[in-house]
Amino acid sequence: MELHLYDSWERRVRRFDSIDPGRAGLYCCGPTVYDYAHIGNLRTYIFEDLLRRTLEFNGYQVQHVVNITDVGHLVSDGDDGEDKMEKGSRRSGKSAWDIAEFYSAAFMEDFCALNLLQPAVWCRATDYLPQQIGFIQSLEQKGYTYCTGDGIYFDTSKQDDYGYMARLDRSALQAGARVDMGEKRSVTDFALWKFSPSEARRQMEWDSPWGRGFPGWHIECSAMSAAHLGSLFDIHCGGEDHIAVHHSNEIAQTQACHGTRLANYWMHGYFLQTGSEKMSKSGGDFLRLQSLVDQGFDPLAYRYLCMAAHYRSQLEFSWDGLQAAATGLQRLREAYHRWPHGGAADEAWMQRFRAEINNDLNFSRALALVWELVRSDTDAAVCKATLRAMDEVLGLDLDGWRPASVAIPAAVAQLAAQRQAARAARQWQEADRLREQIRALGFLVEDTVAGPALKPALAGAAHDS
């Protein structure tokens, strides 16, 4: 079955064909580690994980590369303002290097808690200075750069199709550029190398042919992706905010240096919106994974929530929505663990599942299909094996979950036995009365095919712990 993915370059859903048969190179722009990731950032990594798992489900061996931006990402998308790392350092009193270390580790924790598959390569921008400097030298030799008082800039006027992916209207942008562009020649030009200020030392700075300084954020991704995946690979991902500036600039540099548009498919996750809750990291106060855990939610409930919305639509976060996702996940886990082992995955259900995810990652439809399976009269052992196979892609770790073992108090067990006896004698009213008594003691009785099951009354919101 063919896999179809939306490509931001062509702005349409295209059949996925990899450059090398059976292999897929995937580069995802990673976190800027000056603070914790917010749940919006995490939505993008969940989308990328679902993409990777879908590729693997389709038999591709995925070379997945994620970078860590630990230098050069300025507080504005333009080329002025402070480096986010130096800002984080000033805020916390720790060194920029310590900040990077600390928030990279925190990011890895979130990554694992969301059951995201580890990439083949994590690459830190500060480990790739020679490659970035080499890249800029090559651009310089080809005549794409100019020097200003604060750095080396990429001259976007040299490319007729600069900004094609974002369908940028450059003349309108230029006309609207009322702000002080400094010595930049065009508003879309961007820094490749920034000089350290002459009056102060930066914490992160390196020598270069142009003087002491640090790389621009965009060159990092072009240099690191080329180092690991070559100058043309299969898929490049990021959040939708990257289309207009960061990815347009990555493409421009690579086009100039290597003559390619870097990736054959460009895919973007749409934003998570949080209405009243703050979402910007630079705003200081924002929701992160731990904020959800603090409210009693399982990180995988957030994964479930994100999966239920298509990656190409914005998602409005709400606590009610998260609660509904947690309940859905909990019911799925309980169903999965109630079913017996010993079946084989059903091909017809798997085919339908594949059709949904291969249709530009339609995971909301795939989840609906999961529920159709759960509610169907398919043999329980087959259901278990089928759902297990689907979970290779869903990544909800159904197999790894264990029901929290709750001791059933003797009084509850006794009432349950009495209720069973009443049911056997078809004394329904008495059975209902006993059920209420059991509930008053904090337990629910569920009549399953395997007989009555007792669980704590709050099990819908309970978490694996």
Binding site for ligand AMP (CB under 6 A): 29, 31-32, 40-41, 43-44, 69, 238-239, 241-242, 269, 271-272, 279
Which residue's CB is nearer to ligand AMP, number 238 or number 395? Answer: 238
Residues ≥6 apart with Cβ < 8 Å to 46: 114, 116, 302, 303, 306, 307
CB 54 within 8 A of CB 393: yes
d(CA 80, CA 61): 41
Nearer to ligand AMP, 36 or 153 (CB): 36
- Interface positions with Zn ion (CB under 5 A): 29, 221
Q: Out of Zn ion, ligand AMP, none, which partner does residue 156 contact, by CB within 5 to 8 A per kind? A: none
Q: Report how far residue 35's alpha carbon sits from residue 422's, in angstroms, rounded to the nearest whole number.
A: 60
- Positive/negative CA dihedral, 41, 44, 48, 53: positive
Closest approach, Cβ 39 to ligand AMP, in A, equals 8
106 contact choice in ligand AMP, Zn ion, none (CB below 5 to 8 Å, kind-dependent): none
Instruction: Give, in order, the Cα–Cα distances in Å from 47 to each of 166, 300, 303.
Output: 21, 14, 9
Nearer to ligand AMP, 34 or 443 (CB): 34
32 vs 330 by CB, closer to Zn ion: 32
Task: Indicate which of Zn ion, ligand AMP, none lies near residue 41 (CB less than 5 to 8 Å, by partner kind).
Answer: ligand AMP
Closest CB to ligand AMP among residues 64, 242: 242
Instruction: Give the nearest distance from C-beta 246 to Zn ion in angstroms.
Output: 6
User: From CA 65, how far away is CA 220, in angstroms rounded?
Assistant: 13
- Residue 238 CB, shortest distance to Zn ion, in Å, is 6
**How far is residue 151's CA from residue 216's CA, in Å, rounded to a whole number?**
9
Specify the residue, 18 or 69, whose C-beta has the smaller distance to ligand AMP. Answer: 69
Q: Is the CB of 85 or the CB of 329 nearer to Zn ion?
A: 85
| Residue 207 C-beta: closest distance to ligand AMP, Å | 26
Q: Which of 5, 39, 55 is nearest to 312 (CA)?
A: 5
What letter would DSSP give residue 376? S
Nearest C-alpha neighbor of 311 from the set 345, 267, 253? 267
Give the shortest CB-394-to-ligand AMP separation in angstroms: 20
Cα dihedral sign for 141, 142, 148, 150? negative
DSSP state of 38: P
Q: Shortest Cβ distance from residue 278 to ligand AMP (Å)?
A: 11
Residue 32: which of Zn ion, ligand AMP, none does it interact with, CB under 5 to 8 A by kind? Answer: ligand AMP
Closest listed residue to residue 125, CA positions, set 231, 225, 251: 225
As measured in angstroms, the least distance from the Cβ of 214 to Zn ion is 16
Residue 222 binding: pick among Zn ion, ligand AMP, none (C-beta 5-8 Å cut-off by kind): none
Residue 119 interaction partner, one of ligand AMP, Zn ion, none, beta carbon < 5-8 Å per kind: none
- Backbone phi and psi for residue 300, each to the nearest 5 degrees, phi listed first: -70, -20
Question: Residue 221 binds which one of Zn ion, ligand AMP, none, with CB within 5 to 8 A depending on kind?
Answer: Zn ion
Q: Which does 249 bind (CB under 5 to 8 A by kind): Zn ion, ligand AMP, none?
A: none
Please state the closest distance from residue 303 (CB atom) to Zn ion, in A: 23
Q: Which is nearer to Zn ion, 28 or 335 (CB)?
A: 28
Task: Determine the residue type at 187.
Answer: V
CA end-to-end distance (rounded Å), the chain? 39
Tokens of 436: 């209420």
